[in-house]
C-alpha cells in the first residue's frame, strides 16, 4: 500500500473521532491517525503500555527514546499527559472507558468478527491488547486495504484466520469504501472517488446493502 493511500485512510478514520473522546490507536496504520487530528478537537489518545495524552510523531529534534507507543514507535506527549502502569491501562480498557478503538485488520467477517493478531505459522511477539480493546472499547473501527496482496477480498462471509473477537467491529474503512456492520448485514455508506458500487461489491465477498446516500451519489 502506498504512503498516499495510507494517509487517505488515516484522514478518513480521523473523522470518527469526536470532541472529548478517549481513543486507542492500534499498531501499524492506525497510529498514523494521530498526525491528522483536528486542532479543534480536544481528545485523549491512550496507549495500552501506559500513556494517556499521545501527540503526533516527533520531529528529529523531539525524539525521546523512552517515550514510545504500544508499537514501540517514538511518540510525543501533549501537555497534561499522564503516565501509568500497564495494569492501570488495561483497567481503563476493560472498564469501558475507551470511546473508540481504531485497529488494523487482516480479515473482517460480515457479522463483525475480526482477525488481526496472527497468521498461523508466522512468528509473533504476542497478541498485544487487541483482544481486550475489541471487547472493552465502546466502538471499534477497523482500517485496512480492501483486498490482500493477491487481490482477494479481506471482507469475508467468514474469517479464515484466528479470531481476535466475535461480532466486535462496528465500521470498516478501506482504501475503497466505508462499510458499517449492521444487524441486517454489511451496509456500504461511502465509496472512495475512483470506484463504483460494482467495484466495491466485486471486491467484497458478502452481499452488500447499499445506503440511500451512496445510491443518490452514484445515480
For the segment 79-137, what is each residue's pLDDT rounded down to a tens digit? 999 999 989 999 999 999 999 999 999 999 999 999 999 888 777 776 778 999 999 99
Task: Tell the burial category of 23 from Cβ atoms under 10 Å away from its Cβ (0-12, 13-18, 19+).
Answer: buried
φ, ψ (nearest 5 deg) of residue 21? -70, 145
d(CA 187, CA 203): 14
As a whole-number percent, the residues of the chain with pLDDT over 90 amount to: 77
d(CA 186, CA 203): 13
49 pLDDT above the threshold of 90: no
The model's pTM is 0.94
Task: Tell the burial category of 124 from Cβ atoms under 10 Å away from its Cβ (0-12, 13-18, 19+).
Answer: exposed
Bridging pattern class, strands 171-173 and 177-182: antiparallel
d(CA 77, CA 52): 8
- Residue 106 DSSP SS3: coil
Q: Catalytic: 190?
A: no
Instruction: Return mean pLDDT, the chain.
Output: 93
Closest CA to 93 of 38, 135, 58, 142: 135
d(CA 107, CA 103): 12
Catalytic residue among 16, 48, 107, 145: 48
Mean pLDDT of 46-54: 91
pLDDT score at 17 = 98
Mean pLDDT of 180-199: 97
| Number of Cα atoms under 13 Å in the Cβ half of residue 80 | 4
* Per-domain boundaries in the chain: 3-218
Residue 219: pLDDT band by 50, 70, 90 thresholds? low
Nine-digit cell string for 171: 465500521
Task: Tell the burial category of 38 from Cβ atoms under 10 Å away from its Cβ (0-12, 13-18, 19+).
Answer: exposed
Question: CB of 104 within 8 A of CB of 84?
Answer: no
pLDDT score at 106 = 96
CA 102 to chain centre: 3
Nine-digit cell string for 201: 461489491
Mean pLDDT of 168-172: 98
Q: For domain 3-218, is the CATH number 3.90.1150.10?
A: no
Amino acid at each position: 500500500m502506498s504512503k498516499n493511500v495510507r494517509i487517505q485512510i488515516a484522514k478518513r478514520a480521523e473523522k470518527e473521532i469526536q470532541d472529548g473522546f478517549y481513543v486507542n490507536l492500534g499498531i501499524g496504520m492506525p497510529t498514523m491517525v494521530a498526525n491528522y487530528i483536528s486542532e479543534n478537537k480536544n481528545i485523549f489518545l491512550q496507549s495500552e503500555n501506559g500513556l494517556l495524552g499521545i501527540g503526533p510523531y516527533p520531529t528529529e529534534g523531539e525524539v525521546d527514546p523512552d517515550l514510545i507507543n504500544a508499537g514501540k514507535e517514538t511518540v510525543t506527549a501533549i501537555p497534561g499527559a499522564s503516565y501509568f502502569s500497564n495494569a492501570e491501562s488495561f483497567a481503563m480498557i476493560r472498564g469501558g472507558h475507551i470511546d473508540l478503538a481504531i485497529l488494523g485488520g487482516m480479515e473482517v467477517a460480515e457479522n463483525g468478527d475480526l482477525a488481526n493478531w496472527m497468521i498461523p505459522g508466522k512468528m509473533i511477539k504476542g497478541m498485544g491488547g487487541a483482544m481486550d480493546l475489541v471487547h472493552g472499547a465502546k466502538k471499534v473501527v477497523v482500517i485496512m486495504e480492501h483486498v490482500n496482496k493477491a487481490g482477494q477480498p479481506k471482507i469475508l462471509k467468514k474469517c479464515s484466520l484466528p479470531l481476535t473477537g466475535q461480532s466486535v467491529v462496528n465500521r470498516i474503512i478501506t482504501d475503497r469504501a466505508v462499510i458499517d456492520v449492521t444487524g441486517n448485514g454489511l451496509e456500504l455508506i461511502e465509496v472512495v472517488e475512483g470506484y463504483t458500487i460494482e467495484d466495491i461489491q466485486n471486491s467484497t465477498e458478502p452481499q452488500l446493502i447499499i445506503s440511500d446516500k451512496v445510491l443518490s451519489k452514484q445515480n
